[in-house]
Structure 1
Amino acid sequence: MKPSALTTHVLDTAAGIPAAGVAVELWRMEDATLVTRATTNADGRTDAPLMDAASFRPGRYELRFAVGDYFRARGQAAGFLDVVALNVGLEAGRGHYHVPLLCSPWSYSTYRGS
């Protein structure tokens, strides 16, 4: 089986830059447990995986991105979005899960990256 892990990356598509300073929370949905909190760095990534191979547990998770705070800190109106919540199902042995968030004050998209 391939070891599994979870990482993320946030891009500000309105400005065309990595989104530095976005607060990210990872919640395990089965028991409503906060797994970790992190903040994106200058490259729009967290400094460490949200779950590395050693701490990985399969299940249903919610990633919460505080994009409204990010846009307000940049002097922009937060627009339509405040906290973007993405619900994902993670399975053991499926390899690295990478969940990018591409956002503007008005919209977002995501996909399973590599």
Structure 2
Amino acid sequence: MIDFNNKGFFKLKRNDEYADRVTDLLLEGERVIDSYKSMRDGVVFTNKRIIAVNVQGITGSKKDFSSLPYKNIVAYSVETSGTFDLDSELEIYFSSLGKVRFEFTGKTSIVEISRLISAHVFS
């Protein structure tokens, strides 16, 4: 399991590379909505869950995939980017797991991510 308390792991920028890396893990009817990449690690938002990818080792051939189903979200918080602070943040509270925090850099549509989560949490 990924150490979600390691803040540096989740400095994410929009990138389609990780969407391809999780294709084999997708369930029938599951589709990728958006994907983000940090230096080596990534996060993929699907229509059913969030998949966090932690690339390990020197060569990067070993990967840890953590599946975070939307149905286990009990609350979440969004911080949008500002004029000088261009980063946005997403904190999600999962039952039995606790808080997971993602930091996004650049032009991230944090409002769209919020809508995606709300559609699953409040439906």
TM-score bracket for the superposition, by shorter chain length: 0.3 to 0.5
TM-score (norm 1): 0.34
TM-score (norm 2): 0.33
Question: Higher helix fraction: Structure 1 or Structure 2?
Answer: 2
Question: Higher strand fraction: Structure 1 or Structure 2?
Answer: 1
More relative contact order, 1 or 2 (CA 8 Å, 6+ apart): 1
